[in-house]
Amino acid sequence: MEEKILIFGHKNPDTDTICSSMVKQILCEKEGNTNVKAVRLGNVNKETQYALDYLQIEAPELIEKVEEGQKVILIDHNEFNQSADGIENAKIIEVVDHHRICNFQTTEPLYYTARPFGCTATILYQEFVAKGIEIEKKEAVLMASAIISDTLLLKSPTTTKYDEKALGELGRIAGIDINKYGLEMLKAGTDLDDFSEKELINLDAKKFESKGVKCVIAQVNTVSIPDVLKRKEKLEEEMKNAISENGTDLFVLAITDILNSNSQIIALGNRVDIIEKTCKLEDNMALLEGVVSRKKQLLPMVENNI
């Protein structure tokens, strides 16, 4: 049998990355392409697990790297430094993503669907509709979960009218109360007790490099910022370890209050001056009111000041 096309999202997978990879597999299969397989590049977080448990389904298989010439479909990312090891030598046949396009190139033509929506699942939802393919409960729950996660129940500034429309429709198909299900799912993701400080700073971390400055912006969701700050000393210790191991210039950890839509940031590294162009750090920290989005708020705040 021909080798399967692998479908995966970014490293440190979030709910959109996992669920949209699974939905893309379902969509391909419903179109008659069964030679596809969703996989993942890291551990499933508790928020995503809540959605999988709700559906009583297993997470995709974990892979570490891709072989040369492997056919792949990238979901929810395109930057190679957020992708599988070996991606430079894989054969990317399709991308479905809602991020900026950066450090991306292929040697052959490909399908590329980019939309500046709040979530990859919203793009997939539109694909189902455009192609007249029926959306069943399973994929409806997966897509709804992804949209709830990426848009923080439509409260993030990344939310578009397309996400709102998709989530409304998907909630109806799935037969779930979006607000009740969504809050429970988001809260499941804020249970941080089982994680070490080292795990916490890697749970949802993304690397960026701009003008030679190496940055990491990590994010943890919580319902109580003071609760997370009880671990500040150890979190900072792990951030410092990561900085010296990877030669990072700026490491920002955003502790995001999903109920009140604020983020407390901790910033460390030899380039904290980049952050201080926007806000004053006290004890390495600042409270950013109304900031919940890495993509639309934190990343531009860093990049524009490098």
Q: Hey, what are 14's tokens? A: 């979030």
Residue partners of 41: CB distance under 8 A and separation at least 6:
8, 9, 10, 11, 12, 13, 62, 63, 64, 83, 84
Angle at the Cα of 62 from the Cα atoms of 139 and 25, rounded to 5 degrees: 30
Q: How many CB atoms lie within 10 A of CB 16?
A: 31
Residue position matching structure tokens 């391909």: 28
163 binds Mg ion per the rule CB under 5 A? no
- Give the one residue of 47, 79, 139, 150 binding Mg ion; rule: CB under 5 A: 150
CB of 136 to Mg ion, least distance (A): 22
**Per the structure block, which two tokens stand in for 261?**
């839509």
Please identify, among the stretches 145-153, 176-184, 256-264, 267-275, the one whose residues bind Mg ion according to the rule CB under 5 A: 145-153
Q: Which of 76, 163, 236, 249 binds Mg ion (CB under 5 A)?
A: 76
Question: How many Cβ atoms from other residues are within 10 Å of residue 127's Cβ?
Answer: 16
User: Per CB under 5 A, which region of 73-81, 153-161, 171-179, 265-273 contacts Mg ion?
Assistant: 73-81
Q: Count interface residues toward Mg ion (CB under 5 A).
A: 6
Instruction: Give the nearer residue to Mg ion in terms of CB position, either 37 or 295.
Output: 295
Environment class of 1 (CB within 10 Å of its CB; exposed 0-12, middle 13-18, buried 19+): exposed
Amino acid identity of residue 68, one-letter, is E
Q: Is 97 in the site for Mg ion (CB under 5 A)?
A: no
Q: Is 132 exposed, middle or buried (0-12, 13-18, 19+ CB in 10 A)?
A: exposed
**Interaction mask 27-66, Mg ion, x per CB under 5 A:** ----------------------------------------
Q: Which stretch binds Mg ion (CB under 5 A): 114-122, 158-166, 227-235, 251-259?
A: 114-122
| 236 near Mg ion (CB under 5 A) | no
Query: Of all residues in this chain, which one has the CB nearest to Mg ion in the complex?
Result: 16
Binding site for Mg ion (CB under 5 A): 14, 16-17, 76, 120, 150
